[in-house]
Amino acid sequence: MNPIDALFGRLKAEGRKAFIPFVPAGDPDIAFTRELLPAVADAGASLIEVGFPFSDPIADGPVIQASYTRALGTGLKLADIFAATRATADRPGWSTPLVAMASYSLVYRKGPAAFIDAALAAGLSGAVVPDLPVEEAEELAKLSADKGFGLTLLVTPTTSPERAEKVVKACTGFVYVVSVVGITGERDKLPSGLREMVARLRGLTDRPLCVGFGVSRPDHVREVAAVADGVIVGTALVRKLETAGADRAGALAAARGLVGELGGALEQTPPP
């Protein structure tokens, strides 16, 4: 069984939800990423999204874009990220699934089958491909299903019901539910229509539904976890890592603290 499926199956049986932090690879260098991944896991991450830096992201806000720019400035290569995730997954007792967040340009350039094979060999259980239109996802979806790889695509508040049905059918991992219209970033409150959006998707798929974009505070986590299967936090965590170039220990401590705080909020989630 794919580790993503195993994780969500176990959490469902326990009546719990997944806390999913996003961490960018290679910022300020890949050695820091190798320290960061186990630190985030130990602090309470259920699953970790590993951001593959890309020069032209379509949905990332300024905080994540700046992190990607710093990482690419070091000469970061795809092989470097794969080596870091492999080293992490090889740690004794490691059980936290790792999922790539990667532009389809990176997948296409390597070749979809080759990318999946390399990702699996590197200890990755799946990939979120945020810019892959569902109309062009058939090849990657079939390869993912055949190879036991968890492909995740995005559903947004503006996705039509007909298109949403196609998106969730293409997913072999979880479904990434974008909470707001716009780019990633911290927000004061989440949209009032989120509950209804998740409910509609429940009628289309049995895949886990995980909500991201704008989740940055314990009250956001509790609100999302009341309706979804997982809570994704990106920008709020990446902001804590901005000082890593000058203060690695401080950045690691800040990351642990935020993951512990937000992940702990899941235990306070009221029943839906």
Residues tagged active-site: 49, 60
Number of other CB atoms surrounding residue 14 within 10 Å? 8
* Dihedral, 214, 215, 217, 223 alpha carbons, nearest 10: 120
Distance CA 216, CA 186 (A): 6
Distance CA 130, CA 7 (A): 22
Exposure b/e, 183-196, CB count within 10 A at least 16 = b: bbbbbeebeeebbe
Residues in the chain: 272
Residue 232 — φ and ψ, nearest 5°?
Answer: -105, 130
